[in-house]
C-alpha cells in the first residue's frame, strides 16, 4: 500500500528554515526504506489559488484553506498496512517540528510522470 504523509507546519515557522537544509532528524526518517519520495513546499504566502466564481476563473493570493497551519511537505510511504505508515508518521511527529501529520492512503496507480 502507498500512503502519503501530509506534513502541516505552524505558520510561524520561518520560510528560511523551510527553504534551508532539512533538519537532520527529519532527514534520518526520510532515508527509511519505506519512504519512496517526498516534496517540500515553500510557505503558504507564496501560494496562488484558482477557483470558479459563477463560471469565471478567479485567482486569489494565498492558500485555499487559510489557517494557522499550512501544508509544508508531502512524504510518500510504502507500507503493508496503516500501522506501517503510522509508525513513520509517529516518528516524525514525535520530533515536535510539525503541527500535525495527516496520513492518507493513495489510490493504487503509477505516480504521474514517475
Partner 1 sequence: MLEEVFRDQWGRVLATLVGLLGDIELAEEAAQEAFATAAERWPREGAPANPTGWLITTARNRAIDRIRRERTLAAKTARLERELRDRAEETMETTPFPDERLELIFTCCHPALAPEAQVGLTLRTLGGLSTAEIARAFLVPFETMSKRLTRAKHKIRDAAIPFAVPPDHLLPERLEAVLAVLYLIFNEGWGGGRVDLSAEAIRLGRSLVELMPDEAEAHALLALMLIDDGRRAARLRGGELVLFDDQDRSLWDEGQIAEGRAHVGRALALRGDGAYTIQAVIADLHLREPRDWAEIALLYERLERITGSPVVTMNRAVAVAELEGPAAGLAVLEALDLDDYRYLHSTRADLLRRLGRREEARAAYARALELSAPGPERRFLERRLAEVSQGAGQDG
Residues that bind partner 1 (CB under 8 A): 1, 80-83, 86, 103-105
Residue 73 Cβ vs partner 1, minimum distance, rounded to whole Å: 21
The cell for 24 is 537532520
Q: Please, which residue, 50 or 107, has the CB nearer to partner 1?
A: 107
Q: Please, which residue, 12 or 83, has the CB nearer to partner 1?
A: 83
Q: What is the rounded CA–CA span in Å between residue 112 and residue 54?
A: 31
Residue 65 Cβ vs partner 1, minimum distance, rounded to whole Å: 22
The cell for 22 is 532539512
Q: What is the rounded CA–CA span in Å between residue 37 and residue 59?
A: 30
Identify the DSSP state of 80: S
Q: Please, which residue, 74 or 86, has the CB nearer to partner 1?
A: 86
Amino acid at each position: 500500500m502507498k500512503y502519503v504523509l501530509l506534513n502541516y507546519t505552524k505558520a510561524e515557522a520561518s520560510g528560511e528554515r523551510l527553504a534551508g537544509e532539512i533538519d537532520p532528524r527529519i532527514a534520518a526518517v526520510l532515508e527509511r526504506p519505506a519512504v519512496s519520495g517526498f516534496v517540500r513546499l515553500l510557505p503558504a504566502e507564496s501560494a496562488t489559488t484558482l477557483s470558479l466564481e459563477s463560471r469565471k476563473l478567479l485567482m486569489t493570493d494565498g492558500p485555499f484553506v487559510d489557517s494557522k497551519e499550512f501544508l509544508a511537505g508531502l512524504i510518500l510511504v510504502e507500507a503493508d498496512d496503516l500501522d506501517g505508515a503510522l509508525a513513520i508518521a509517529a516518528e516524525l511527529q514525535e520530533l515536535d517540528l510539525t503541527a500535525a501529520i495527516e496520513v492518507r492512503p493513495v489510490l493504487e496507480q503509477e505516480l504521474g510522470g514517475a
